[in-house]
A and B are shown apart, each in its own frame.
Chain A
Amino acid sequence: MSATTGAAIVGIGRTPYYFRGTSAPQTIYELIGKAVFAALEDAGLSIEDVDGLAFFAAGFDCGTIMEQLGIPELTFSHIVSGYGGGMAAILDLATMGVTTGRAKTVVCIGASQQVGRRLGQVLGNLTATPEMIFHRIAGLAGPGQALALSARRHMHRYGTRREAFGEVVMASRAAAATRDTALRRKSLTLDEYMASPMLADPLCRLDFCLETDGALAFVVTSAERAADLPQEPVHIAAAAQVATRDWGRAFFWLNQPDDAFTTAGAGAVAERLYGLAGIRPKDIDVALIYDHFSPLVIMQLEDYGFCGRGEGGPFVESGAIRLDGALPINPHGGHLSEGYVVGMTHIHEAVEQLRGTAVNQVFGARTALVTGGPAPVPMSAAILRNER
Chain B
Amino acid sequence: MSARSICPDFASLEVAWDAWSKPFWQAASERTLVMPRCGACGTFRWPVGPFCPECHAQSVEWLPPGQGSIYSFTILPVPGAYPTAAPSWRVPVLVEFADAPGVRLVSVLIDAPLDAIAIGDVVEPDWRPAANAKVPVFRLAVG
A interface residue numbers (CB < 8 A to B): 127-131, 133-140, 145, 148-150, 152-153, 156, 197-203, 245, 254-255, 257
Contacts and interface: CB of A to CB of B under 8 A. Distances in A.
A133 B25 CA distance: 12
B71 interface: yes
Interface string B95-130: 000000011111110000000000100000000000
Contacts of A197: 77
B106 A254 contact: yes
B90 A257 contact: no
Contact of B92 (A138, A203, A257): A138
B44 to A, nearest CB: 10
A130 B93 contact: no
A136 B92 contact: no
Contacts of A254: 94, 104, 106
Interface in B1-41: 8, 10, 13-18, 20-21
A182 B131 CA distance: 46
B62 interface: no
B24 to A, nearest CB: 9
A145 B74 CA distance: 7
Interface centre among B10, B77, B94 (most CB of A within 10 A): B94
Contacts of A255: 46-47, 102-104
Contact of A137 (B47, B72, B74, B108): B108
A139 B72 contact: no
Interface in B73-96: 73-77, 90, 92-94
Contacts of B47: 130-131, 134, 255
A374 to B, nearest CB: 15
A138 B119 contact: no
Contacts of A135: 106
A127 B17 CA distance: 12
A292 to B, nearest CB: 16
B140 interface: no
Contacts of B64: none
B2 to A, nearest CB: 14
B15 to A, nearest CB: 6
B42 interface: no
Given A140-B106, A145-B92, A149-B92, A156 B119 contact: yes
Interface residues of B, number: 35
Contact of A245 (B20, B53, B72, B92): B53
A205 to B, nearest CB: 10
Contacts of B52: none
B60 interface: no
B75 A137 contact: no
B72 A153 contact: yes
A139 B17 CA distance: 18
A131 to B, nearest CB: 5
A140 B75 CA distance: 10
Given A130-B17, A152-B119, A140 B92 contact: yes
B94 A149 contact: yes
Contacts of A130: 16-18, 20-21, 47
A263 B143 CA distance: 34
A180 to B, nearest CB: 34
A139 B77 CA distance: 11
A137 B108 CA distance: 7
B106 A138 contact: yes
A142 to B, nearest CB: 10
Contacts of B18: 130
A152 B106 contact: no
Nearest to A256: B104
What 5 A-B pairs have minimum CB-CB distances, sorted nearest first? A138-B92, A201-B75, A148-B74, A149-B72, A153-B72
Contacts of A128: 13-16
Given A145-B74, A200-B74, A254-B104, A139 B90 contact: yes
Given A134-B105, A139-B92, A255-B47, 11 more contacts: A128-B16, A129-B16, A138-B93, A139-B108, A140-B92, A145-B74, A149-B72, A156-B72, A197-B77, A203-B74, A255-B103
B72 A133 contact: no
Interface string B41-78: 00000110000010000000000000000011111110
A128 B132 CA distance: 14
Contact of B72 (A129, A131, A134, A150): A150
Given A149-B94, A152-B73, A200-B76, A134 B119 contact: no
